Amino acid sequence: MNFLDHPPRFFFFTGKGGVGKTSIACATAVKLADAGKRVLLVSTDPASNVGQVFGVAIGNAITAIVAVPNLFALEIDPQAAAQTYRDRIVGPVRGVLPDTVVRGIEEQLSGACTTEIAAFDEFTALLVDSALTADYDHVLFDTAPTGHTIRLLQLPGAWSGFLAEGKGDASCLGPLAGLEKQREQYKAAVDALADAARTRLVLVARAQASTLREVARTHEELADIGLRQQYLVINGVLPEGAAGDDELAAAVFAREQAAITTIPDALKALPRDQIALKSFNLVGLDALHHLLDNVETLAEHPAATNAEPIVAPTLATLVDEIAADAHGLVMVMGKGGVGKTTLAAAVAVELAHRGLPVHLTTSDPAAHLTETLSETLENLSVSRIDPHAETERYRQHVLETKGAKLDAQGRALLKEDLRSPCTEEIAVFQAFSRIIREAGKKFVVMDTAPTGHTLLLLDATGAYHREIARQMDDKGIHFTTPMMQLQDPKQTKVLLVTLAETTPVLEAANLQDDLRRAGIEPWAWIINNSIAAARTCSPLLLQRAANERREIDAVAKVHAQRYALVPLLKDEPVGEENLRALSQSQATTNAEADL
């Protein structure tokens, strides 16, 4: 493995949920410890399962992994860290400021940026020379801070004054209030991150075009702020020998090799490793020892595996219920890499095929979808919102209004505030909001929607209300805001997309909680690219299918009011026919009994 050559003291593993960064971090820790190095493995992943991987209870205290001499682990609970962090900031103003103001501050501190900064606050001490890490040769971090967080920590002080004077917008600067005491430690930590002799960033991806594009954006964002010591690991690549005579496995192999061949230019110069897809769950030392070896024998595949696809509701079942309303807003949401854009297109195409008028709107830049839906389909209209153009338009508007009277330092803070992940969500949703009104007379299928945190921030400031009132240019007319429409289950159906894997399911559950705080109840879950719902005779894929069943069971019985299972298909979901195929599967009836 290239990324293990001449290992530095610090490793950071980063990537979207479900790509396998925790498993790779654990396997790396074991390999270094086996080589006689004293290793500390630290996880700040909200979906961390490091303890599960090693079969040891790990908490917010350094714990020895008894089965691996020289290995120690620490799990920082980011949610607990964020709550402690919020209490530290909000506590002094409770009972002093009006309750509505306190609730607004709490909501500003409820987003992903607060969680990330709170976790960074916890592990910065591990990045600088201290008694905590003095005895370790290597410190490995499962999950790295984003470029946005690091840029925030590099900006000048005066966070509290900037926020207190109301100069910020719907922001991610709020989490930085009251951090002046740690600024020297933060500077040392950021310096350590940028030092190629001390720190190596490992970007973990899957052999999928969309995932590789996402990693390319992460690479460029981190490189722009000086974090250039990066390695790329493409995980879970189907071995050629596993395809055999199985049509599905052969198609997956060809698809993955095409994605690797056409890797984004930004990633081509990075040192690269590939890790073969394994049939077994990556739990326990035997599994970890094999992960980086790229060796797997057929003996590791169980001899007896149920080859029949799982019986579960299909996407067509959900579309039947949606179509019965004749019109409405359908929001398709989910974390990156789960296929929500493709499924939004599949829902729209299926509704249009039934003779219903549909407007599909997306901000996803995926070229294959643009090509797929560039053809004219009866009853279907498509709009593509350019998130970069919309975000730049929004930034300029805020700078020309709120930023007009700020000094140089204030404008620097505001500009960074406007580079937060929330800003793009706000800008894109404002563009979406112009289309939402159509849902009263046709179906509007919306891809790439904002989180509940962002919606609550905007609703609290009245931004949507004022914007729509301004567009109507008549405050005397009654109107319904997008937020009100999203909260009405008769007008809006939210579909959460996930994969049948532990981390994506947990991330979708967290997103569901986030939406519920905003008064939005998800209508259904869609489990995408399921091997368990497909027909295969590949021993490796059959075992992967067996591993999926626990996660499908959790969605069906714990998380979702209703759900659908979409099979992994042999053909790429491009074109009307292949998109419609996503609505069908081998099984067509309701089926917890087979789980």
Distance CA 136, CA 134 (A): 6
Close Cβ partners of 515 (under 8 Å, ≥ 6 residues apart)? 333, 451, 452, 494, 521, 522
> Which of these is catalytic: 21, 167, 278, 570?
21
> Which of these is catalytic: 124, 146, 363, 503?
503
Distances (CA, A) of 355 to 320, 326, 381, 469, 510: 13, 10, 13, 34, 36
> Which of these is catalytic: 15, 16, 17, 22?
22
Distance CA 401, CA 550 (A): 52
With CA atoms as reference, report the closest residue to 139 among 71, 48, 76: 71
> Which of these is catalytic: 23, 115, 124, 342?
23
Both structure tokens of 411: 């404008």
What order do you get walking across the sheet with 199-206 strand by strand? 63-64, 71-75, 39-43, 138-142, 10-14, 199-206, 230-237, 272-276
In a 10 Å sphere around its CB, with 0-12 CB exposed, 13-18 middle and 19+ buried, how is residue 277 labelled?
buried
Both structure tokens of 351: 């509704």
Q: Annotated catalytic, 18?
A: yes
Both structure tokens of 543: 């075992």
Distance CA 320, CA 6 (A): 57
> Which of these is catalytic: 18, 334, 337, 452?
18
- DSSP, collapsed to helix, strand or coil, labels residue 253 as helix
Close Cβ partners of 94 (under 8 Å, ≥ 6 residues apart)? 102
Q: Annotated catalytic, 23?
A: yes
Q: Annotated catalytic, 21?
A: yes
Q: Annotated catalytic, 381?
A: no
- DSSP, collapsed to helix, strand or coil, labels residue 521 as coil
Is residue 170 a contact partner of residue 458, using CB atoms and an 8 Å limit? yes
Q: What are the backbone angles phi and psi of residue 149, rounded to the nearest 5°?
A: -65, -45
Q: How many CB atoms lie within 10 A of CB 5?
A: 9
> Which of these is catalytic: 20, 336, 337, 452?
20
For residue 72, the cross-strand partners are 40, 64
Q: Annotated catalytic, 22?
A: yes
Close Cβ partners of 262 (under 8 Å, ≥ 6 residues apart)? 209
Map 319-336 to HEC letters: HHHHHCCCCEEEEEECCC
Place of tokens 């990330």: 116
Q: Annotated catalytic, 405?
A: no
CA dihedral sign, ordered 176, 178, 182, 188:
positive
> Which of these is catalytic: 14, 45, 149, 342?
45
Q: What residues are labeled active site?
A: 18, 20-23, 45, 503
